[in-house]
Amino acid sequence: DLPFTLLSDESTETIQAYDVWVEKSMYGRKYMGIERSTYLIDEKGIIIKTFQKVKATSHVEDVLKEL
């Protein structure tokens, strides 16, 4: 069990509010998708750190350094 709630955002309302719904490109094909990002949010709901355009291979270590 996780000690927090996970968000599912099928309507992209929250994704767009965080400005991470972006145009992407793969093999010359353009499409809309989520920019990989992480937000550290404190107990009061305040964003204390953002990580934009993260790399999956090193991201865990980067986040753990901030905790």
* pLDDT tens track for 8-40: 899 999 999 999 999 999 999 999 999 999 999
The domain tally of the chain equals 1
Q: Is residue 2 part of a domain?
A: no
Q: Is residue 44 part of a domain?
A: yes
Q: Is residue 5 part of a domain?
A: no
Q: Is residue 26 part of a domain?
A: yes
Q: Is residue 38 part of a domain?
A: yes
* pLDDT tens track for 36-53: 999 998 989 899 999 998
pTM for the predicted model, two decimal places: 0.69
Pairwise CA distance, residues 45 & 22, whole Å: 25
> 36 Cβ partners below 8 Å, 6+ apart?
53, 54, 56, 59
Q: Is residue 34 part of a domain?
A: yes
Tally of CB atoms within 10 A around 62? 13
CA dihedral of 50, 19, 11, 35, whole degrees rounded to 10 = -70
Domain that holds residue 39: 13-66
Q: Is residue 47 part of a domain?
A: yes
Question: Which residue shows structure tokens 């599912």?
Answer: 8
